[in-house]
Amino acid sequence: MRARLFFFFPLFLALLIPSAPPRKPADIVKSEKANFRIDTVASGLEHPWSLAFLPDGRMLVTERPGRLRVLAPDGNLSLPVEGLPAVAAVGQGGLLDIVLAPDFNESRRIYFSFAEPRGPAGAVNPNSTSLASARFLEEDGKAKLADVNVIFRAEPATEGGLHFGSRIAIAPDGALFLTTGERNLKAAAQDLSNHLGKVIRVRADGTAPPDNPFVGNKNARPEIWSYGHRNVQGAAIHPATGKLWIAEQGPKGGDEINVPEKGKNYGWPVIGYGVDYSGAKIHEGTHKEGMEQPIYHWAPTSIGPSGMTFYTGEAFPGWKGSLFVGALALPHLDRLELDGEKVVKEERLLVDRGLRIRDVRQAPDGTLWLLTDSRDGKVLHLVPEK
């Protein structure tokens, strides 16, 4: 089935998306700290999930059904890049995050996460979150992946299509952080014998660094950095401290921002600030000894946090130092002002647009790029408007 889809999708998308789509009229949006316009650079992408900037200004964009595209700043969108492994495009699963290796200019190395089918050939179930490396190559105008290697597989694989987590962040020491969801198996997040509901830390080859907190513990997985997470779909390295920050989806209420520390337990499902979708109680309470508190949480309404980035650019001086978080359940772009590891102010942008913001990235020029999560997903560019 996947081969047939890959055969038809290029032709279908070529008809759907012009090679250089005209820009829509810009909208002027007034923010407390900045005025900006929003340009639609590309549309017709199917549930785009992540974006990474190439050194020449183009972007790599993942689509959840299992396609990787190259997008030029003028909107020119490539055919799907060849060489991806099979993905379990089921529910929230599929091709998910993508980042460039720090030495990309020399190595052409990228890392990507995906829901990997682990069952019989062609079957999407069981499946689980996996992390792969590859080299991104271009020859005769065509892009492909070479030397694809799955360096980490979250265990166990389970049935269904919920809670894959799947953000990647590269620490200053070169370690790779990967977030996983608990696959809607709540108790799994507290069980150190599996990788579900965890923040994972591995080296570039997928092995556990010797200073990980549970190395040598026969009852725990050595790749685990922190645990007690539900479904972490946002992750970014703080530009000043080098610490990992994450945005974590709660149930009905209880979304969180956390700064996960080595070996710490972040409480899901024992403590939290939300309730079940039925309204029933989930947690024992909001606090418990030995379990960490979020630095910020949304309650009683969930925003559904996804991609996130720290803003360090000069294009929007009033936003410098802010943490931006895409929101899915309460569609908007969230801006958090920080004082150290404390959120002091929240501003909700694009509330009137109804856009499910899957990812937000800062470009090298300091502008912001967004991906919208829909069957007709868009790539949006936020630029300053004087």
Q: List Cβ neighbours of 361 (8 Å cut-off, separation of 6 or more).
A: 51, 52, 53, 307, 309, 368, 369, 370
- Of 47, 163, 283, 332, the active-site residue reads 163
DSSP 30-94: E-SS-EEEEEEEEEEESSEEEEEE-TTS-EEEEETTTEEEEE-TTS-BPPPPB-PPP---STT-S
Is the distance from CB of 196 to CB of 154 less than 8 angstroms? yes
Residue 238 catalytic?
no
Burial class (CB in 10 A: 0-12, 13-18, 19+), 375: exposed
User: Measuring CA to CA, which residue among 48, 68, 25, 14 is closest to residue 361?
Assistant: 48
- What contacts 24+ positions apart, CB below 8 Å, involve 69-74? 69/45, 70/143, 71/41, 71/42, 71/379, 73/41, 74/20, 74/41
∠ CA 137-8-15, nearest 5°, is 90
- Within 13 Å and on the Cβ side, how many CA atoms surround 310? 20
Q: Which residues does the annotation mark as catalytic?
A: 163
